[in-house]
Structure 1
Amino acid sequence: MPDAPSSRWSDLERPALDGPALAAALIRNSGLWRSLEVVPEIGSTNAELLARAGQDAPDGTVLIAEHQVTGRGRLDRVWTSPPRAGLTVSLLLRPDVPAARRGWLPLLTGVALAESVAEMTGVLPSLKWPNDLLAADGRKLAGILAEVSGTAVVVGVGLNVSTTAAELPDTGTSLSRVTGATVDRAPLLLAFLRALERRYLRWTDVLGDPVSSGLAQDYLAWSSTVGTEVAVSLPDGSTLEGTAQAVDWDGRLVVATAQGTVELASGDVRHVRRV
């Protein structure tokens, strides 16, 4: 008789997420999360929650897709992932903070993601401003996209979990590639959402203050951008070069250039390695 499998998923490379079980585990005793839904396939989780936001969907709505077919990243880039190879999740939040403080929400999400990845997998990632989670070699593990609809902010996260080299661009990697082992998505997802809840409630309790909430200090601890030479592609097509010095009160990147200091609310950052 063959040996019994070590778990019920041992013969499945990419098991499906159990939506009802995840919802029950997450929502019980939660001060933020109100619903969690897993769908087999969708165009875009962000687009769906933006539509629901217009229909007064509540704060704390979580939508997860096993396969996202028209996912978007920043600057209208396409984000694709094979079915069940990653975590594709969007969160509908209605933060009661000054509008200028909302710029910290994707950064807060990044800190929660970095913390949970490190805790659950042992991988020590870093954050590239404003929205990328990087492995130690600089390859991208995850992207974050925040979009506003009235009082709501929809934050989307795409994390590569079991994606293979053949399924990834040269600039990307996955948790399984970094660890050399299988990574269970379900406990990682719950750890991320619980870490985000703790940080979000602390941040909103102080009206989005990044200093008194501890967010600013913790973000800098995970950042691989601050203190680095950067080249930033701006929305108007120009490029700005300089040294990333800080993240300001509104979540903007402060860059020292030859022409002076500039605060950037958006841009595509490339870390420049001097030789």
Structure 2
Amino acid sequence: MSGGISPTYSSSSSSPGRTKRMPMRSPHAFSANSDATLPLVFANVGLILFVVAGVFYIKEDWDRFSLLCVLGYASIIIGLILPELLAADVDKGGRTTFHPTGTREIDDKIEKGIRERKWIQFWGTVMMIVGIFLGIVGSLLYSPTIVSALSSKMIPLIDEANLVWAISFLIFPVGFGLLTYDKLMTLQSLADEGLDDEASVTIWHPQMRVFLWTEICLILFAIAGVVVVSLPNALGEAFGLFLFALGALIKVCLLFYELRG
């Protein structure tokens, strides 16, 4: 995305011989820079909570570790939901409207394309929700208190928790990849109508920056999760932690880059 926390604008003609700057908005998450920065802020709050949780992991204080991980996932959920609520415009009849350009004919064409991709949006969203749900379940399995409430055991189910986490980490990049594709196609619709400087939109488009690097982070997290489960030894944990740290560093740098712009 091409700036910081201000919305992205493009040109549309309001009258012959006159060009007017119109905001490009979409009811989908991360449609403009402001929509992208908000999830980044909450994602980094979640990362901070996960880092603090790591301290309790080292101390083997499993209840506090579990609680902080759950709060971390809750922060990510908030970051995903808020842009949807802020981006959607609701008319007097309670219907969500779509006004990325301010020109009805063009908006209708773009909205039609979005409707045609509704299953991509649906499954992408479902997979993100399932991934977060499994992440929370995996976190709870680390808590002896939670485990004892569900069974006679008073120990953290670490192996089971790591397996659930690994599955959730594998789901995330697939779900987010679908949402990224939907965003890419929406930008292509704008380009087809002459509302973008580039005739053909690729993953390297400025407005795809947050999507691209977030997908890279999720892939790193997925690989790390699989490594930790597949190699339950010091080397596996060290390599997994390295990948987690690298992904977290990318997310933090991405946030500062967006805020600086």
TM-score, normalised relative to structure 1 = 0.23
- The higher radius of gyration belongs to 2
Instruction: Indicate the structure whose relative CO is greater, using CA pairs within 8 Å and at least 6 residues apart.
Output: 2
TM-score, normalised relative to structure 2 = 0.24
Q: Which has the higher helix share?
A: 2
Q: Which has the higher strand share?
A: 1
